[in-house]
Structure 1
């Protein structure tokens, strides 16, 4: 409770609150909560950065959690407060992009064609990567490099794609008012869309292109090419 409480007759709110608090969090408490959140985010990013540096230097499989926490000078307990497994250090960064995509798709106009809605939602994700802080661009590059070099993470990436595909198909089905259990079209549209994204990312990896802005442009080109290819070749 703040220093001036609802029950304090000397307080300026006496006679108006009838013993009830306003429900507002005092400014010092809000500032402290904000400071704690920023500290947690710094620790999480420090663990990600240390892990990615070790993965690229030693290899993902050869790097231990003990080495990651030693680099940041925190305990294993702290590590597991942020990540369930070593794999989560890499995939959690990409899961954030999945959530941005899902939120962007939910905000698209109801009458928009499904593939266009997916395409425009991906623009939001790519702009977030390209326009983010320089450190985010470095993390994006390192995450992609680690995945491309690690078969087990490539498998995890495919599992993530499958989960993301099902979630996006469910959103498309809701937008179009169809039953996902009996209508294959939402899954087909999403499959074409994700295939284009995957091909673009892999093409950038083959050409050693890691700049977030360039990758974003290549993904946009690939997604647009799907529509033209399906129109001309099928």
Structure 2
């Protein structure tokens, strides 16, 4: 055994680690806000990382501490939503029809979002063909993955089996279409998405809600 004088490895407490994570998150959100303003003014395609760093009053090196690339500034919105939906799905009743759980979880998460910020994000993405394509891909990787994992678990199947995979893709596409429709026509975003997701129940599942 090591002697009494041996140094023990330093371990930060959970509260200290959480405080550090909160500071990093706040700093990243500040950079994200500065970037979004530039995207609105100049367009996503022409704004550079140097521009964002200057607007956020940080160095380019510091920018890359928070985001691997310019695209990731927009991806952050989808990743936060995917994480929030995963958390919300984990709290849904075990005996609830899977697609009903998805609809309610997504509605709750979207209702808690700042709709004005979502509208700004959609405007930036819609104005750039490149950003639209990238965000569609991110949505498939991030959001649809969360849904497929949950649906597979509830249906007793692997996430990449046909039924959970197809339901997840359908739900993800419906959410994107509903969000664009809301941006163009207005109204309540959470309700618009929830109403749109009933399409899976009524058209695809015949009102069964993917019941067990």
TM-score by length of 1: 0.74
Structure 2's unaligned 5+ residue stretches are 208-212
1:40 is aligned to 2:24: yes
1:187 corresponding residue in structure 2? 165
1:173 is aligned to 2:147: no
Cα deviation for residue 109 of structure 1 reads 2.0
- Deviation digits for residues 112-134 of structure 1 (CA, Å, limit 9, x no counterpart): 222112111112211221xxxxx
1:221 corresponding residue in structure 2? 195
Cα deviation for residue 141 of structure 1 reads 2.0
2:105 corresponding residue in structure 1? 121
Mapping of 1:125-204 within 5 angstroms? 125-129=109-113, 136-163=114-141, 164-180=143-159, 183-204=161-182
With a CA cutoff of 8 Å and minimum separation of 6, indicate the structure with the bigger relative contact order: 2
Q: Determine which structure has more spread, i.e. the larger CA radius of gyration.
A: 1
Q: Secondary structure at the match of 1:74?
A: coil
Cα deviation for residue 225 of structure 1 reads 3.7
Structure 1's unaligned 5+ residue stretches are 1-6, 8-19, 130-135
Contact kept in structure 1, 2:107 and 2:193, CA below 8 Å? no
User: Relative to structure 2, which stretch is displaced further, 146-155 or 219-228?
Assistant: 219-228
TM-score by length of 2: 0.80
Q: Secondary structure at the match of 2:68?
A: coil
CA change 1:167–1:66 in 2 (3 A) is: same
Hey, what's the Cα distance between the residues in 1 that align with 2:159 and 2:175? Answer: 22
Cα deviation for residue 24 of structure 1 reads 9.2
